[in-house]
A and B are shown apart, each in its own frame.
Chain A
Amino acid sequence: MRERITSLTRSNTDLVWLVALLLVLLVAYQHYDSTLFTPASVTILSAQFLPLILAAAGQTTVMLLGGIDLSLGAVLGLAMAVFATYEAQGAGGVVTAAVLALGVAGATGAVNGALVAYAGLPPIVVTLAASFLWSGVTLVVLPQPGGHVPAGLVEAYNNGWYGVALPVVAITVVLAGWKLVRTTRHGLALYAVGGNEHGAYASGLHTRGVKIGGYALAGVFTGLAGIGLAIQTGSADPTIGTPYTLNSIAACVLGGISFFGGVGRMRGTVLGALLIGLLTNLLLFTGISPFYQLIVQGVILVVALALKTYVTREATA
Chain B
Amino acid sequence: MTSDRMTSDGMTSDGMTAHRTTGAEVVAMLRGSRPVWAFGVLGVTWLAAILFADGFDSVSNVRYLVQTASFLGIVAVGQTLVVIMSGIDLSVSGVVGLSAVVCAKVASGTSGGATTAVVVALLLSALVGAVNAAGVVWLRVPPMVMTLATGTVLAGALLVYTDGSPSSARVPLLDSLANGRVLGVPWAFVLWLAVTAVAGWLLHLARTGRYAFALGAGESAARASGVPLAATAFTAYVSCALLAGVAGLVLLGFTGTSSLTMGNPYQLLSIASVVLGGTSILGGRGHLLGTVGGALLLTLLTALLTSWNLSEGVRQVFLGVLIIGLLLVYARERRT
Determine if B300 is an interface residue (Cβ-Cβ < 8 Å). no
Determine if B126 is an interface residue (Cβ-Cβ < 8 Å). no
The residue in chain B whose Cβ has the minimal distance to the Cβ of A111 is B324
Give per-residue flags for B71-105: 1 if the beta carbon is below 8 A from chain A beta carbons, else 0.
Answer: 00000000000000000100000000000000000
Q: Is the CB of B271 within 8 A of A128?
A: yes
Q: Is the CB of A136 within 8 A of B160?
A: no
Identify which of B156, B327, B334 contacts A129 (C-beta below 8 A): B327
Question: Please, how many angstroms separate the alpha-carbon atoms of A298 and B141 in the complex?
Answer: 13
Identify which of A140, A246, A291, A306 contacts B160 (C-beta below 8 A): A291
Identify which of A68, A128, A306 contacts B141 (C-beta below 8 A): A306
The residue in chain A whose Cβ has the minimal distance to the Cβ of B151 is A298
Q: Which of A7-15, A25-33, A94-102, A119-127 contacts B (4 or more CB under 8 A)?
A: A119-127
Determine if B152 is an interface residue (Cβ-Cβ < 8 Å). yes
CB distance from B230 to the nearest CB of A (A): 16
Question: Please, how many angstroms separate the alpha-carbon atoms of A298 and B88 in the complex?
Answer: 17
Known A121-B328, A132-B323, A298-B150; contact A143-B156, beta-carbon cutoff 8 A:
no
Q: Is the CB of A119 within 8 A of B332?
A: yes
Identify which of B144, B281, B312, B335 contacts A139 (C-beta below 8 A): B312
The residue in chain A whose Cβ has the minimal distance to the Cβ of B274 is A125
Which chain B residues border A132 with CB–CB below 8 Å? 268, 272, 316-317, 319-320, 323
Which size class do A's interface residues fall under? 35 or more
Determine if A134 is an interface residue (Cβ-Cβ < 8 Å). yes
Q: Is the CB of A143 within 8 A of B311?
A: yes
Q: Is the CB of B319 within 8 A of A136?
A: yes
Determine if B15 is an interface residue (Cβ-Cβ < 8 Å). no
Q: Is the CB of B333 within 8 A of A133?
A: no
Q: Is the CB of B275 within 8 A of A289?
A: no
Which chain A residues border B317 with CB–CB below 8 Å? 132-133, 136-137, 140
Determine if B166 is an interface residue (Cβ-Cβ < 8 Å). no
**Dominant SS among interface residues on chain B:** helix
Give per-residue flags for B152-183: 1 if the beta carbon is below 8 A from chain A beta carbons, else 0.
Answer: 11011101100110000000000000000000
Q: Is the CB of A129 within 8 A of B320?
A: yes
The residue in chain B whose Cβ has the minimal distance to the Cβ of A68 is B144
The residue in chain B whose Cβ has the minimal distance to the Cβ of A246 is B148
Known A121-B333, A122-B333, A124-B281; contact A143-B313, beta-carbon cutoff 8 A:
yes
Known A129-B327, A302-B135; contact A140-B313, beta-carbon cutoff 8 A:
yes
Which size class do B's interface residues fall under? 35 or more
The residue in chain B whose Cβ has the minimal distance to the Cβ of A294 is B156
Which chain B residues border A121 with CB–CB below 8 Å? 327-328, 331-333
Inter-chain CB contacts under 8 Å: number? 144
Which chain A residues border B314 with CB–CB below 8 Å? 136, 140
Which chain A residues border B312 with CB–CB below 8 Å? 136, 139, 143
Identify which of B145, B163, B272 contacts A128 (C-beta below 8 A): B272
Question: Please, how many angstroms separate the alpha-carbon atoms of A226 and B156 in the complex?
Answer: 25
Known A136-B313, A140-B313, A140-B317; contact A259-B281, beta-carbon cutoff 8 A:
no
Residues of B127-159 whose CB lies within 8 A of A? 135, 139-142, 144-146, 148-153, 155-157, 159
CB distance from B281 to the nearest CB of A (A): 5
The residue in chain B whose Cβ has the minimal distance to the Cβ of A132 is B320
Question: Please, how many angstroms separate the alpha-carbon atoms of A177 and B335 in the complex?
Answer: 34
Identify which of B139, B141, B324 contacts A133 (C-beta below 8 A): B324
CB distance from B147 to the nearest CB of A (A): 10
The residue in B135, B282, B316, B328 that gathers the most chain A C-beta atoms within 10 A of its C-beta is B316
Which chain B residues border A313 with CB–CB below 8 Å? 140
Q: Is the CB of B320 within 8 A of A136?
A: yes
Which chain A residues border B160 with CB–CB below 8 Å? 289, 291-292, 295
On B, residues with C-beta under 8 Å from A are 88, 135, 139-142, 144-146, 148-153, 155-157, 159-160, 163-164, 268, 271-272, 275, 281-282, 311-321, 323-324, 327-328, 331-335
Can you list the 10 inter-chain pairs with the closest CB atoms, starting with the nearest? A136-B316, A133-B320, A139-B313, A294-B156, A132-B320, A136-B317, A298-B153, A291-B159, A295-B156, A298-B152
**12 sample A-B contacts, Cβ–Cβ < 8 Å, listed by A number:** A124-B144, A125-B281, A126-B324, A259-B144, A291-B164, A294-B155, A294-B157, A295-B157, A301-B149, A302-B141, A302-B145, A309-B141
On A, residues with C-beta under 8 Å from B are 68, 115, 119-122, 124-126, 128-141, 143, 246, 249-250, 253, 259, 289, 291-299, 301-302, 305-306, 309, 313
Besides the known contacts A115-B324, A253-B145, A302-B141, 5 further A-B residue pairs in the complex with CB atoms under 8 A apart: A137-B313, A139-B313, A294-B156, A299-B149, A309-B141
